[in-house]
């Protein structure tokens, strides 16, 4: 059974950098795309970006200037950094696996972490 | 970016009712449409991919249809455990985008 677990500080000061790690267990980190998705309290879901096991990335243009996603295949982990955070970055952050359907070839998020709340406040 | 519009934003229905949620894309996305269920305090769960492909383990009362710009998620007989918010998501082009969600309540 694939499991994803987010970890990192729950409180970050304004203007600082938010850093989270997602640890993957139960399957290889190779051959999949790995995403970060966030959800402000009481609001909807926003895709932040993904990284392929090879290291190639794709970011949401709305956050691209502040976001870095990296991967460590030896540790089966991938990480998120968001710089210059403000209160608007307060959200539950999820990591998720993106798989391509065998029949249709279409992507979808099939496994998610439980999510971690990050609050931006001084 | 492709905008996803869901309706209604919330609904209340009785156990056994047939419930339909609509999702409209701002441009054609073929069948690149996924549906997720998010129960309170939990991560989203993939219900349906590619507009109509039911995921393994998901009850058959859930079904999806549509292509192009208009899609529906139907719960044929609402159960108490279906209390959740449902999101559509397009996987046609990045940035992947989600609808704002439909909150389903049980009368």
Indicate whether A79 pLDDT > 90.
yes
Distance from CA of B96 to the nearest CA of A (A): 6
Q: Which residues of B touch A (CB under 8 A)?
A: 1, 31-32, 34, 36, 42-46, 49-50, 53, 55, 87, 89, 91, 94-101
**Buried b vs exposed e over A2-32: b needs ≥16 C-beta within 10 Å?**
eebebebeeebeeeeebbbbbbbeeeebeeb
Q: CA-CA distance, B58 to B48, in Å (whole number)? A: 8
The per-residue pLDDT for A30 is 87
Indicate whether B3 pLDDT > 90.
yes
Q: Which residues contact B41 (CB under 8 A, 6 or more apart)?
A: none
Q: How confident is the model at residue A48 (pLDDT cuts 50, 70, 90)?
A: very high
Higher per-residue pLDDT: A29 or B98: B98
The per-residue pLDDT for B40 is 94
Q: Which residues of B touch A2 (CB under 8 A)?
A: none
Indicate whether B99 pLDDT > 90.
yes
Tell the residue number behind the tokens 């455990």, with chain if given. B81
Nearest residue in A to B85, CA atom: A44
Cross-strand bridge partners of residue A95: A36
Q: How confident is the model at residue A35 (pLDDT cuts 50, 70, 90)?
A: very high
Residue A86 touches partner B, C-beta closer than 8 Å:
no
Q: How confident is the model at residue A73 (pLDDT cuts 50, 70, 90)?
A: confident
Indicate whether A104 pLDDT > 90.
no
Q: Which residues contact B90 (CB under 8 A, 6 or more apart)?
A: B2, B4, B25, B29, B32, B33, B34, B96, B97
Q: Which residues contact A56 (CB under 8 A, 6 or more apart)?
A: none
Tens digit of each residue's pLDDT (9 = 90 or more) over B14-50: 999 999 999 999 999 999 999 999 999 999 999 999 9
Q: How confident is the model at residue B68 (pLDDT cuts 50, 70, 90)?
A: very high
Average pLDDT of the residues in A89-95? 98
Indicate whether B103 pLDDT > 90.
yes
Q: CA-CA distance, B97 to A90, in Å (whole number)? A: 19
User: Exposed/middle/buried for B56, CB within 10 Å: 0-12, 13-18, 19+?
Assistant: exposed
């Amino acid at each position: 059974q694939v499991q994803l677990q987010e970890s990192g500080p729950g409180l970050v000061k304004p203007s600082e950098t938010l850093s989270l790690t997602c640890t993957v267990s139960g399957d290889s980190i190779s051959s999949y795309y790995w995403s970060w998705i966030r959800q402000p309290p009481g609001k909807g879901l926003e895709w932040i970006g993904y990284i392929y096991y090879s290291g190639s990335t794709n970011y949401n243009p709305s956050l691209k200037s502040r976001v870095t996603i990296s991967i460590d295949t030896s540790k089966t982990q991938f990480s998120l950094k968001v710089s210059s955070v403000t209160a608007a970055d307060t959200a539950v952050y999820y990591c998720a696996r993106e798989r391509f359907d065998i029949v249709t070839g279409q992507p979808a998020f099939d496994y998610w972490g439980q999510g971690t709340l990050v609050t931006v406040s001084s | 970016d492709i905008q996803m519009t869901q309706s209604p934003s919330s609904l209340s229905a009785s156990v056994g009712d047939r419930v339909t949620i609509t999702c409209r894309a701002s441009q054609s996305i073929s069948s690149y449409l996924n549906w997720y269920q998010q129960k309170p305090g939990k991560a989203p769960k993939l219900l349906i991919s590619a507009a109509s492909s039911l995921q393994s383990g998901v009850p058959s009362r859930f079904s999806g249809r549509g292509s192009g710009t208009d899609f529906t998620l139907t719960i044929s007989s609402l159960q108490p455990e279906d209390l959740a918010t449902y999101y559509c998501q397009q996987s046609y082009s990045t940035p992947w985008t989600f609808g704002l969600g439909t909150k389903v309540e049980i009368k």
